[in-house]
């Protein structure tokens, strides 16, 4: 083994193997994965003007998501909600004269929201009302209605639309999970639980307060200039910035390292997900910050990343969320990182996939290379897994080959696929088909993949 491979093996071996499990010898072991049995989930919800419909869709789609949490974690999940608002020069506390682009009465700034929001108007003409309920700061299976009550159509996920125009989802998450955990945000994060951060936003992340000048004609668009590193006319700093700061934001690696550090840098205990402005979900590199000239208003605009199909009105688009995409990539898409587009009229499928992602890894990194995948048989904790199976959830029906017509229901597909070694995956990875629940084979929170 070379140095990097040896280090990877030791990390997985020393942390997971001590829990022990049956089935298979070490010589046959392909992977041994810790499956969290508790999870703390932080939702970071954009409260800008373009998020009214999306907040409602998020609430309406929570039922399937919560059902998966109940299935995998029983009573052992916590959920809290914060906004993307962080107090700054351009985002002060709201008062009688400042009612927009400001901090609401909770203070935001990473503080858990305990306001149950309700839109008594429409998407185009919203009329929000809020009621405080301190018991809704941290949600469990006992008070999941706090997130969104489908009958009353209210909940903490409806955070409003007058929020800060400089959305700082990552900075807000760091505040929420940092110093505030010993005070206002207590009783949420547990030492023995996995941690997930889920950002839902139609805008780009704007780094930390002080990364950009908030007193220019560019206003919130300066966040995009800084995220890209160059403005619409090729400039690398804004001429109206008295400090002449170069266009750059706090590196994403800082946020990743902070989150990983909360769990002792143990593999798989931290997950990052985002539902954001994505151009093509199957080709994330196509989402980029580009500019277009608006002759009617004599100004540069940031091009939309996506538009919601069938949507009409003023709030049917999202700007590119490049930093959220890159953050998910740092965690490994399908492994500990998840991304989807916010330009949807229904989040039900997305939230079900998110629930499965948080509950069970979608991609399993191996500690041993498979030399001949086509002739390899796999076992999970000693139980053989058929190479091909029919696409029926919660039911195992084996078949012989792809599109084998023998399936009583669904179609015949590969139960698992092998991805060959790469720089990030030196021994390759296994991905199981969506209908197959690999984590149901876990014993005492450990899943072992063996050569059968």
C-beta separation of 36 from 445 below 8 A: yes
C-beta separation of 304 from 232 below 8 A: no
Start-to-end CA distance of the chain, whole Å, equals 24
Beta strands at 194-200 and 39-45: parallel, antiparallel or unpaired: parallel
Between CA 58 and CA 139 the distance in angstroms is 16
DSSP three-state, residue 1: coil
Between CA 339 and CA 199 the distance in angstroms is 10
| Token pair belonging to 231 | 């403005």
C-beta separation of 61 from 151 below 8 A: no
Instruction: Please report how the helices 252-262 and 169-177 are oriented relative to each other, as an axis angle in degrees rounded to 10.
Output: 30
| Token pair belonging to 316 | 């049917």
Say what the pLDDT of residue 156 is: 98
Q: Which residues pair with 383 in a beta bridge?
A: 380
Between CA 292 and CA 52 the distance in angstroms is 25
Say what the pLDDT of residue 25 is: 57
Say what the pLDDT of residue 418 is: 95
Q: How far is CA 102 from CA 9, 166, 187, 209, 427, in A?
A: 48, 10, 27, 14, 49
DSSP three-state, residue 146: helix
Closest Cα partner for 176 from 136, 209, 224, 137?
137
**Please, is 272 exposed, middle or buried when counting C-beta atoms within 10 Å of its C-beta (0-12, 13-18, 19+)?**
buried
* H or E stretch covering 414: strand 412-414
C-beta separation of 190 from 266 below 8 A: no
Between CA 232 and CA 224 the distance in angstroms is 10
Closest Cα partner for 319 from 251, 227, 445?
227
C-beta separation of 238 from 225 below 8 A: yes
Say what the pLDDT of residue 34 is: 80
Beta strands at 378-380 and 383-385: parallel, antiparallel or unpaired: antiparallel
How are the residues of the chain apportioned to helix, strand and coil, as percentages rounded to the nearest 5?
A: 25, 25, 50
Domain spans, the chain? 3-35+378-451, 39-359
C-beta separation of 399 from 408 below 8 A: no
Say what the pLDDT of residue 15 is: 30
Say what the pLDDT of residue 19 is: 32
DSSP for residue 360: S
Between CA 63 and CA 141 the distance in angstroms is 12
Beta strands at 270-276 and 291-294: parallel, antiparallel or unpaired: unpaired
| Token pair belonging to 398 | 């084996």
Q: Please give the CATH superfamily to which domain 39-359 belongs.
A: von Willebrand factor, type A domain (3.40.50.410)
* Per-residue confidence in pLDDT tens, the chain, 452 aa: 344 333 333 333 223 322 333 344 567 889 888 888 999 999 999 999 899 999 999 999 999 999 999 999 988 999 999 999 999 999 999 999 999 999 999 999 999 999 999 999 998 899 999 999 999 999 999 999 999 999 999 999 999 999 999 999 999 999 999 999 999 999 999 999 999 999 999 999 999 999 999 999 999 999 999 999 999 999 999 999 999 999 999 999 999 999 999 999 988 899 999 999 999 999 999 999 999 999 998 999 999 999 998 888 788 999 999 999 999 999 999 889 999 999 999 999 999 999 999 998 878 989 999 999 988 999 999 999 999 999 998 788 999 999 999 999 999 999 999 999 998 889 999 999 989 999 989 998 889 999 87
């Amino acid at each position: 083994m070379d140095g990097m491979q040896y280090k990877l093996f030791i990390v997985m071996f020393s942390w997971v193997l001590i829990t022990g499990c049956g089935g298979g010898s070490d010589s046959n072991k392909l992977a041994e994965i810790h499956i969290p049995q508790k999870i703390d989930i932080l939702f970071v919800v954009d409260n800008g003007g373009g998020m009214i419909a999306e907040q409602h869709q998020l609430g309406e789609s929570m039922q399937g998501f919560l059902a998966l949490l109940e299935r995998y974690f029983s009573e052992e999940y916590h959920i809290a909600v914060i906004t993307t608002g962080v107090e700054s020069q351009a985002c002060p506390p709201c008062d009688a004269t400042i009612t927009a682009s400001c901090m609401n009465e909770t203070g935001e700034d990473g503080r858990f929201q305990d306001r149950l929001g309700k839109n008594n108007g429409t998407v185009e003409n919203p009329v929000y009302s809020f009621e405080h309920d301190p018991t809704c700061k941290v949600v469990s299976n006992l008070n999941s209605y706090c997130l969104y009550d489908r009958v009353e159509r209210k909940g903490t996920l409806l955070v409003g639309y007058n929020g800060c125009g400089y959305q700082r989802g990552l900075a807000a998450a760091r505040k929420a999970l940092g110093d505030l955990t010993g005070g206002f945000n207590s009783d949420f994060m547990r030492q023995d639980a996995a941690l997930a951060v889920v950002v839902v936003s139609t805008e780009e992340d704007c780094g930390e307060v002080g990364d950009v000048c908030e007193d220019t004609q560019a206003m919130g668009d300066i966040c995009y200039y800084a995220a890209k590193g160059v403005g619409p006319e090729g400039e690398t700093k804004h001429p109206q910035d008295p400090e002449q700061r170069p266009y750059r934001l706090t590196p994403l690696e800082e946020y990743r390292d902070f989150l990983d550090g909360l769990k002792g840098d143990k593999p798989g205990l931290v997950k990052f997900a985002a539902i954001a402005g994505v151009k093509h979900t199957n080709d994330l590199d196509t989402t980029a910050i580009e500019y277009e000239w608006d002759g009617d208003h004599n100004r540069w605009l940031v091009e939309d990343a996506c538009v919601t199909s069938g949507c009409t009105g003023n709030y049917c688009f999202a700007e590119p969320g490049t930093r959220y995409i890159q953050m998910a990539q740092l965690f490994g898409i399908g492994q500990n990182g998840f991304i989807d587009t916010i330009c949807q009229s229904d989040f039900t499928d997305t939230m079900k996939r998110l629930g499965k992602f948080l509950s069970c890894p979608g991609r399993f990194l191996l500690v041993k290379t498979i030399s001949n995948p086509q002739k390899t048989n796999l076992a999970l904790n000693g139980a053989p897994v058929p190479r091909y199976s029919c696409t029926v959830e919660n039911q195992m029906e084996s078949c012989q080959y792809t599109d084998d017509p023998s399936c009583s229901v669904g179609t015949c597909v590969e139960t698992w696929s092998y991805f060959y070694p790469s720089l990030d995956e030196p021994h390759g990875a296994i991905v199981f088909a969506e209908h197959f629940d690999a984590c149901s084979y876990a014993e005492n929170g450990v899943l072992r993949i063996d050569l059968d």
